[in-house]
Amino acid sequence: MRVAILAPVAWRVPPRHYGGWEQAVSNLTEALVRLGLDVTLFATADSVTSAELKSVIPRPLQEDPELRRASRAHEILHAVFCLEQSEAFDVVHSHAGSFVVGYAPFVRTPLVVTLHGSGAEPDSQVLYRRFRSLPYVAISEAERRLLPDLNYVATIHHGVEVERFPFAAEHGDYLLFVGRLARVKGVHHAIAVARRTGIPLVLAGIVPPEEQAYFAREVEPHLDGSLVRFIGPVDGERRDRLCCGALALLHLVEYEESFGLTMIEAMACGLPVIGTRRGSVPEVVAHGRTGFVVDGVDGAVEAVGRIRSLSREACRAWVAERFHARRMAQAHARVYERVVREARARA
């Protein structure tokens, strides 16, 4: 099976620091290669992969101001570079955004599309609904609810190579937030939990330009270097060390997030998750076993008081059972086989 993976080009694959889509693509690509598929990854030229790498974009758009000024043009060049070679593959799997589906009528090779949460965007909804008959993969049941009328061929949760994560059996002594410091991510809720429990909070991640005002107004005033600390973006190794030393990951999102990859990365290290009852959180966190699903700050504060009753071994075992990269890759391989078989039957 010859598979082309069309990655986003906002960040490298895998990302150096932030980049959830790119990390998910990296996890899938490497797992497919381990499964024995012939995989070609279309990503930025500085990407690192065991698959064959093809590139027309030299660097991540978000790391190069000159490229970023014409980001949409470079995204189109990247997609066309892949799709014009599509006949060399049995299937093309796009993770690059909704605009790619507009090329589907001109591509004879089957095109599988993963939404990655982009179905919540108005422009994306127009495109996805126009090309609703394409084979779509949802990354959670929560994502399917955003656009229920598409032709979903599977729901496949993200996965990680659990064995590559360090593990800490003992509970740590601080709360942790990892990700994009944005209002919808509930950073202010995490701060409120820290203030009410008196347990230190470490904030790790990027502050996007559009969130600078939010950060200055609702986060920065609370950064005292003691109770609440902001350490900026971290790479995977440092993130894992933080997870091993923490008491709980706070994932108090305010929106219907399709999938929070950070949650399974944390649990792979043995770190329980406290998350709000939004989006994929109830699918990812086993309430009362690997964390707690709560309805707000009050519930999160109560959950912090109970978090030490949870087994960190159970957190890691849950990820190994439900969110292993091997399981994710096997499910995708079945999708590719089905889509290719159906396309050949129509030919």
Q: What is the mean pLDDT of the chain?
A: 96
pLDDT at residue 347 greater than cutoff 80 = no
Grade residue 18 by pLDDT with cuts at 50, 70 and 90.
confident
Which residue ranges form the domains of the chain, and what is each CATH number?
1-158+323-344 (3.40.50.2000), 160-320 (3.40.50.2000)
pLDDT at site 286: 98
Query: How large is the average pLDDT for residues 26-33?
Result: 98
- Residue 121 and residue 101: Cα distance in Å, rounded? 15
- Residue 28 and residue 260: Cα distance in Å, rounded? 15
Three-state DSSP class for residue 228 = strand
- Residue 51 and residue 5: Cα distance in Å, rounded? 10
Q: Could you tell me which residues come within 8 angstroms of residue 103 by beta carbon, excluding any fewer than 6 positions away?
A: 79, 80, 83
Peptide bond into 272 cis (omega under 30): no
pLDDT at site 118: 67
Which of 105-119, 140-154, 266-280 is least confident? 105-119
% of the chain at pLDDT higher than 70:
99
pLDDT at residue 25 greater than cutoff 90 = yes
Give which of 236, 262, 238 is closest to 248, Cα–Cα.
262
pLDDT tens string 287-320? 999 999 999 999 999 999 999 999 999 999 999 9
* Antiparallel, parallel or unpaired: β 2-6 and 175-178: unpaired
pLDDT at site 47: 97
pLDDT at residue 168 greater than cutoff 70 = yes
Query: Any idea which residue has 């993770």 for tokens?
Result: 95
**Largest pairwise CA distance in the chain:** 65
- Residue 257 and residue 184: Cα distance in Å, rounded? 9
Grade residue 74 by pLDDT with cuts at 50, 70 and 90.
very high
Q: Could you tell me which residues come within 8 angstroms of residue 239 by beta carbon, excluding any fewer than 6 positions away?
A: 178, 204, 265
pLDDT at site 119: 67
pLDDT tens string 80-130? 999 999 999 999 999 999 999 999 999 999 999 999 876 678 888 999 999
- Residue 317 and residue 335: Cα distance in Å, rounded? 26
